[in-house]
């Protein structure tokens, strides 16, 4: 593993305090921009805590609410409630706690693997393979010069997940985005770990789809932005250290909230996960006049 991949694995290796009680650390000081806890970290650590109370079944769906911003200077306590253990399904409820208050709650459902009917919606975008998508350091100078400083800083930031956004800096005709991602290094062959890493990454870039039509970004300074909730469904086996395509769209933004959806495909085109998230996107300064709402969808 690379150092950053090893640090991510360590971040997701919780300390067991009691049968249903776990403690998760925050990233090392070497990770930049530690002003608050990243929501994907809490999502992934809560999933790990829940997974460690279940045997013989894999997580298939998670529904979570972000209640308070996390404090990056102290550990997070995860209290898991064993709601139900059935023959095919198990249910867990995980609460993340800091300073004596819940900052995050999540319900997780587990399912023992079994055969059944199969279908999927295939990817409806034409996207280049990840090897043909330039990293941030390989973008043309004119593209880099056109990106606002906060946006550029975000994409240049070192992280344990490698991101390759498609069409970064381009004007779009529909609220859609796509990005290739993978763990920044090989991971152990543990399915639960790969699920947790995908959960971690699923909170990255998704709300960008809510601002695609409005001449702004959740990474800039014109909006107050916060994830409000997060839902994740895991459909098929995958590896989080191989390239996955995150196809994102936003069906609605209104009332200072935006709804974003994501479909995650592996390189073979198999739909491995679906995501939905609502976020606060509250303007804190006047925005540029948005373009007219398009009447037809355009490919990313």
Mean pLDDT score across all residues of the chain = 89
Query: Which residues have a Cβ under 8 Å from the Cβ of 275 and sit 6 or more positions away?
Result: 202, 206, 230, 231, 232, 233, 261, 262, 263, 264
Give 139's pLDDT tier (boundaries 50, 70, 90).
Answer: confident
Q: Which of 28-32, 264-268, 292-296 has the lowest mean pLDDT?
A: 292-296
pLDDT of residue 57: 97
Looking at residues 19-23, what average pLDDT do you find? Answer: 98
Render pLDDT for 106-124 as a digit per residue (tens, 0 to 9).
Answer: 999 999 999 999 999 999 8
Domains of the chain and CATH, by start: 4-114+126-283 (2.40.160.210)
Q: What is the pTM of this model?
A: 0.90
Looking at residues 269-290, what average pLDDT do you find? Answer: 85
Contact 109, 90 (CB under 8 A): yes
pLDDT of residue 287: 57
Nearest to 259 by CA among 201, 203, 199, 210: 210
Q: In whole angstroms, what is the distance from residue 273 CA to residue 264 CA?
A: 5
What residues are annotated to the active site? 203, 227, 277
Quick check: 296 pLDDT over 60?
no
Helix (H, G, I), strand (E, B) or coil at 41: helix
Render pLDDT for 40-78 as a digit per residue (tens, 0 to 9).
Answer: 999 999 999 999 999 999 999 999 999 999 999 999 999
Query: Which residues have a Cβ under 8 Å from the Cβ of 106 and sit 6 or more positions away?
Result: 43, 46, 47, 50, 62, 63, 64, 65, 93, 94
pLDDT of residue 31: 67
């Amino acid at each position: 593993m690379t150092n950053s991949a090893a640090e991510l694995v360590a971040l997701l290796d919780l300390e067991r305090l009691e049968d249903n009680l776990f403690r998760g650390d925050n990233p090392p000081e070497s990770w930049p921009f530690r002003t608050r806890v990243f929501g994907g970290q809490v999502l992934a650590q809560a999933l790990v805590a829940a997974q460690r109370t279940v045997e013989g079944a894999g997580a298939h769906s998670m529904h979570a609410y972000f209640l308070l911003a996390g404090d990056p200077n102290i550990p997070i306590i995860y209290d898991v409630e064993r709601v139900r253990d059935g023959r095919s399904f198990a249910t867990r409820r995980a609460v993340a706690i800091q300073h004596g208050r819940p900052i995050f709650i999540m319900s997780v459902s587990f399912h023992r693997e079994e055969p059944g009917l199969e279908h999927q919606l295939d990817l409806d975008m034409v996207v280049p393979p990840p090897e043909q998508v330039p990293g941030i350091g390989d973008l043309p100078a004119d593209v880099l010069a056109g990106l606002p400083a906060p946006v550029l800083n975000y994409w240049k930031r070192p992280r344990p997940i490698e991101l390759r956004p498609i069409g970064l800096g381009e004007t779009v005709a529909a609220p859609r985005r796509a990005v290739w991602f993978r763990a920044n290094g090989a991971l152990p062959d543990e399915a639960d770990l790969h699920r947790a890493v995908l959960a971690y990454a699923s909170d990255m870039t998704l709300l960008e789809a809510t601002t695609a039509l409005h001449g702004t970004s959740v990474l800039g300074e014109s909006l107050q932005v916060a994830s409000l909730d997060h839902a994740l469904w895991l459909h098929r086996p995958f590896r989080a250290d191989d390239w996955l395509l995150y196809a994102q769209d936003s069906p609605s933004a209104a009332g200072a909230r935006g709804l974003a959806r994501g479909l995650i495909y592996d390189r073979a085109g198999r739909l491995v996960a679906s995501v939905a998230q609502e976020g606060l996107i509250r303007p804190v300064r006047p925005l540029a006049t948005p373009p007219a709402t398009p009447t037809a969808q355009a490919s990313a």
